[in-house]
Structure 1
Amino acid sequence: MRVPAPDPREVRDASLDELSRLGLPLPPEQFPLVWEPGDEIELRPTVEIEARIAVLHVILARCFGMPAQAAMSWLLNSHLVDMVTPPEWQFVMGGRGDHRSFVLHHDALFSLAWVLGLTKQLDPTLPVDERLVERLPHIAGGETFAHWRSRILAAPQHPADVAALLDLHYCLDWAYLELERDGRSRPGLVDANAIGQRRWALEWAVVLRGPYHDEPPGWEEVDLST
């Protein structure tokens, strides 16, 4: 569902209000907006977001001891091999890559779960809700991707709500990095890495349409440099 994007300035003001409430530093006045007036927004197709959640779930299972053969078999049986990126495939098959960076995807998965309505909140001061695991594929029990989709009955958030949370995490990402540079304490239990992962997922899930936006990036192509 493609809808008109909300007023970017109003959304940004709300994001800055939240940073102030949390006692976080505010980005400079020239900090760019995520979208422009007149743009449109939509979410990626639900099945695509579900597939990304499932792939990340398998990768996390590999991080915590799932055998490579079992992971590969589940992906093959669920017809998800094409959704695995080359770096992810190298890790799933041979354990190659930065193990720590793959563990951090726990927060990206949490963010995507919120987009699909599988968890009720995405609070920047709170860690991943451990109850979420029950809403994820039961890989060890042999649950297929198709069965999982029918079990969870995803109810995606409205695109404007996801875009607003993207703007907030865009600002939070900057603020948390500032905190770390200054050696200041953060307002909750979530660190800059977790905020960055949540932003990564939201940047990927929200599709922005307008004269200044390119085609939606692949998972590994999401730009978090600004």
Structure 2
Amino acid sequence: MATVVPAPDPADVREASLDELSRLGLPLPPGNFPLVWEPGDEIELRSVGEVEARIAVLHLILARCFGMPTEAAMGWLLGSRLVDSVTPPEWDFVTAGKGDHRSFVLHHDALFALTWVLGLTKQLDPSLPVDEDLVAKLPNIVGGETFDGWRRRLLVAPQHPADAAALLDLHYCLDWAYLESEREGLPLPGVIDSHAIGQRRWALEWAVMLRGPYHDSPPGWEEVDLST
């Protein structure tokens, strides 16, 4: 069962996020930039099983992007009993190749962030690209490894909800800073761009569930709002 914990002080977390932006040489958001949560809110992470299923589905989507046949993809989903974990846009892409191919490829960074949530990736550094050994930590779909088989070989150590929330706040600020830097032609601190940061934020927005009077129910994967 997921652990619900008090959210850390949002002002303290925001101060740490802004310090990190300064360290990276990025512009800081305006003073009225919203906090992600309020004092007194609570946080929890999605269940391990739910995060594992989302990782597996995103990995399959990427396999389709790089040439996996429809029949093979459908067979793997059915054999792994993951059909219910696929969103309607993902289903259209898997079954008929419909949708924005490029947007699905970008999910590589969202997948990377989700592996961090489960402790499979040690750090989520905004100045660094996806770990080279990430694929070895994912289901070997081409080799016939099922979802359950992959789960049996995993050694997950989920992040503490407060740490994940702090990283969410950082990526909320990074998302603004990267977009602003690209608009103004300012240098970025590493090789990844705003698309990668946005994908990592997407994953964290989905994985970290905030509870409080000003929060709606946790969004589905396609319902995550990255507009602010």
Scaled by the length of structure 2, what TM-score is found?
A: 0.98
- Match for 2:174: what amino acid? L
2:95 and 2:218 mapped to 1: Cα distance? 27
Q: 2:138 aligns with which of 136, 139, 143?
A: 136
How far the C-alpha of 1:141 sits from its partner, in A, is 1.0
Q: 1:181-192 alignment to 2 at 5 Å?
A: 181-192=183-194
Sequence identity (%): 79
1:52: which partner in 2?
A: 54
Q: 1:76 aligns with which of 69, 75, 78?
A: 78
Matched residues, number? 226
2:225: which partner in 1?
A: 223
Which structure 1 residue ranges, 5 or more long, are not aligned? none
How far the C-alpha of 1:185 sits from its partner, in A, is 1.7
4+ long deviations beyond 6 Å: none
- Within the alignment, does 1:28 sit opposite 2:27 as a pair? no
Q: What are the Cα deviations for residues 53-97 of structure 1, in whole angstroms up to 9, with x where unaligned?
A: 000000000000100110111011111000000000110111111
Q: What is the root-mean-square deviation in Å for CA atoms of aligned residues?
A: 0.5
Which structure 2 residue ranges, 5 or more long, are not aligned? none
2:136 and 2:154 mapped to 1: Cα distance? 10
- Within the alignment, does 1:104 sit opposite 2:106 as a pair? yes
1:125: which partner in 2?
A: 127
2:154: which partner in 1?
A: 152
- Match for 1:135: what amino acid? K
2:13: which partner in 1?
A: 11
Q: Secondary structure at the match of 1:208?
A: strand
1:168: which partner in 2?
A: 170
2:91: which partner in 1?
A: 89
1:43: which partner in 2?
A: 45
Q: 2:204 aligns with which of 202, 205, 208?
A: 202
How far the C-alpha of 1:153 sits from its partner, in A, is 2.4
Q: Secondary structure at the match of 2:210?
A: strand
Q: What are the Cα deviations for residues 8-37 of structure 1, in whole angstroms up to 9, with x where unaligned?
A: 000000000000000100000100000000
